[in-house]
Chain A
Amino acid sequence: GAGVSQTPSNKVTEKGKYVELRCDPISGHTALYWYRQSLGQGPEFLIYFQGTGAADDSGLPNDRFFAVRPEGSVSTLKIQRTERGDSAVYLCASSLDSNSGNTIYFGEGSWLTVV
């Protein structure tokens, strides 16, 4: 498909384990965003990439969370030593570039459950 693709769509992991969530943006989109959404809340900003570099990582909650985008396309969100409070849907989005006039398109999300 031509949309933002995220894998896995669902992930159940044990507390303390390491998790990687992958995002494949729309082809040609240079801006990529990660958000986290908990039940009953709006999406919460985590990090944003323009190309390969993290332009704004102010939303990462702590040093257990890290994201990369080594070739300026696919991005991986990495969570170390997972905690039950990390359970949420992790949404990836992309846009043509960071111009405020460009629409941001979301993927369907990776639903993470930490037990």
Chain B
Amino acid sequence: RKEVEQDPGPFNVPEGATVAFNCTYSNSASQSFFWYRQDCRKEPKLLMSVYSSGNEDGRFTAQLNRASQYISLLIRDSKLSDSATYLCVVRSYNTDKLIFGTGTRLQVFP
């Protein structure tokens, strides 16, 4: 079983739609959680960190459920420019490496 699991998609949604991505992680010692965005043939870039209390950044909302070892990302009012792959990432407290999921591909159409 992979340490971080995501539905690879693709998710095809119209502009203005709300879309949610989910991610599960297997290592209960995981301490830090992130969503990264990766455009085609580009490097991953940090979208947002995920905090236990949940956090919002504009149209993006991230949630963490430690008991279920589950992370989510909600995108409201989707834009064409949101089309990308969204990578779920975890980091354990006893190691400094980031563990990535396979990514979920989002395609927003007009």
Contacts and interface: CB of A to CB of B under 8 A. Distances in A.
Contacts of A59: 97
Contacts of B98: 33, 43, 45, 104
Q: Secondary structure at chain A's binding surface: helix, strand, loop or mixed?
A: loop
Contact of A50 (B4, B8, B96): B96
Interface in A36-86: 40-45, 48, 50, 55-56, 59
Contacts of A42: 4, 87, 100-103
B91 interface: yes
B102 A107 contact: no
Interface in B87-105: 87, 91, 93, 95-103
B48 to A, nearest CB: 11
Nearest to B32: A100
A27 interface: no
Given A42-B102, A100-B32, A48 B44 contact: no
B1 interface: no
Interface of A: 31, 33, 35, 40-45, 48, 50, 55-56, 59, 91, 98, 100-101, 103-104, 106-109
Interface of B: 4, 8, 31-32, 42-46, 87, 91, 93, 95-103
Given A40-B8, A106-B43, 20 more contacts: A31-B96, A41-B102, A42-B4, A42-B87, A42-B101, A42-B103, A43-B87, A43-B100, A44-B100, A45-B97, A55-B96, A56-B95, A56-B97, A91-B44, A98-B96, A100-B32, A100-B93, A101-B32, A106-B45, A109-B43
